[in-house]
Amino acid sequence: MDRIIGAENWADLFLAYVLNEENKRIESLKTTDIDGALAGYFGNTMVLRDGNGQIIELVYYNYNRTMRYWRNGSWFDGKWIINSGQDNTLVFHVFEIEGKPLCYCHPLAANKKVGDRWISPETNGGIPVFPIKATPLQYLSSVPVVGQGKRLVIVGTNIDVGACYTLEEGLVAPPKQGCAAGHNDILSISMKEANKPIEGYFGNSEVLIETTSGKVLGVGYYRSDFSLRHWNNGAWVEGSAYIVNNGQDCSMFIRTRTDFFKKPSGFAHAFAPNKKVGDCWVSPEVWGGAPIYPLASGGVAVQNASGRYLVAGTCFQPRTVHTLLEGEVSPPGTH
């Protein structure tokens, strides 16, 4: 593209277009209920049943951002947050263990009502196994399931489903049989180990750099209490918080932004765990924050070769790179 006459600045033009689209969406959401995508869940229960109709897990969301979660014979009380500043395709479940937040990321089936059925397969890291967004836009992060006689099939197909979700009225009681508390991942996680992959960020700054000009495009200063100070579009945003899916693989994080809406709004992004000061990497992602390719290995490493940023093992120079710098970094011309 760089060799096409008149297209030398295509990357800058595309970035400007993307930022303009994001700003238009943010403006359109300012006067709406940013939690509206979850409204149908409030006072009802999301139930996951196996292929035989047996309950595997129960999730009960409250309007005040609290939730109840049941699996393997145990109830847990926690909090929820969705990426409401983007496209409402991800939900983060946060529980307090050993006095610290333990977080799990999952695809969110937005705008559901009682009686709906759907599948939302995912990996341990919360990322869908297949690109659900490739289906019609109204499906977003779920694919509907419909009845076909006595069968349940994926909408538009003759494919039988195994486990699927339903939204059922009220608070659904767990099964009476098999309720003895068994092994539960939430109970077994050590918070020291869970937070180890993100410790390199504590007290340091993640800086987004434009490789061709060296211009700083963004700065995030991470504190160990999970508060965040970040700089975007020439201004500092204070009072934000962040959470990483440390109950899984620390590959995703969500930050709240308080500068757009009356309530904190969520913005999800790919997260590169196990970084230390001086590391450099790329972390491409789609609109909703899910990585274009798996980043559980810690992001795609970038090396500085004779003053050029190159993706490790290649001659490719990415347009932007992330780097972790010591302490609280201020972009040029700011304090």
Cβ contact 282:328 at 8 Å: no
Task: Please report the pLDDT score of residue 240 as a whole number.
Answer: 84
Same domain, yes or no: 211 and 291: yes
With residues binned 3-state (H G I as helix, E B as strand, rest as coil), the percentages for the chain, rounded to 5, are 15, 40, 50
The answer to whether residue 294 is domain-embedded is yes
Same domain, yes or no: 185 and 200: no
Give the end of a domain, one of 157, 189, 221: 189
The answer to whether residue 30 is domain-embedded is no
Q: Could you tell me the strand order of the sheet in which 66-71 lies?
A: 100-107, 90-97, 74-82, 66-71, 55-61, 44-49, 164-169, 117-119, 143-148, 151-154
Give the end of a domain, one of 135, 169, 189: 189
Task: Please report the pLDDT score of residue 95 as a whole number.
Answer: 95
Cβ contact 252:242 at 8 Å: no
Same domain, yes or no: 314 and 208: yes
Same domain, yes or no: 122 and 185: yes
Nearest to 46 by CA among 68, 26, 25, 66: 68
Q: Is 280 left (phi over 0), alpha (psi -120 to 50) or beta?
A: beta
Same domain, yes or no: 219 and 298: yes
Same domain, yes or no: 180 and 242: no
Overall number of domains in the chain: 2
Same domain, yes or no: 103 and 152: yes
Cβ contact 256:239 at 8 Å: no
Task: Please report the pLDDT score of residue 141 as a whole number.
Answer: 65
Could you count the other beta carbons within 10 Å of the beta carbon of residue 315?
8
For 154, the domain range is 36-189
Q: Can you give the pTM of this predicted structure?
A: 0.81
Could you count the other beta carbons within 10 Å of the beta carbon of residue 74?
16
Give the end of a domain, one of 189, 216, 239: 189
The answer to whether residue 335 is domain-embedded is no
The answer to whether residue 13 is domain-embedded is no
Same domain, yes or no: 182 and 230: no
The pLDDT profile of the chain, 335 residues, written as one tens digit per residue, is 444 444 455 555 655 666 666 667 666 665 556 678 899 999 999 999 988 889 999 999 999 899 999 988 889 999 999 988 777 888 999 999 988 999 998 888 888 999 999 888 665 555 555 545 544 444 456 788 888 888 888 777 787 888 889 999 999 999 886 554 455 778 788 999 999 999 999 999 999 998 888 889 899 999 999 999 988 777 888 878 899 999 988 988 898 876 655 566 788 888 899 999 999 998 766 544 555 544 445 578 888 877 788 888 888 888 889 999 999 998 766 54
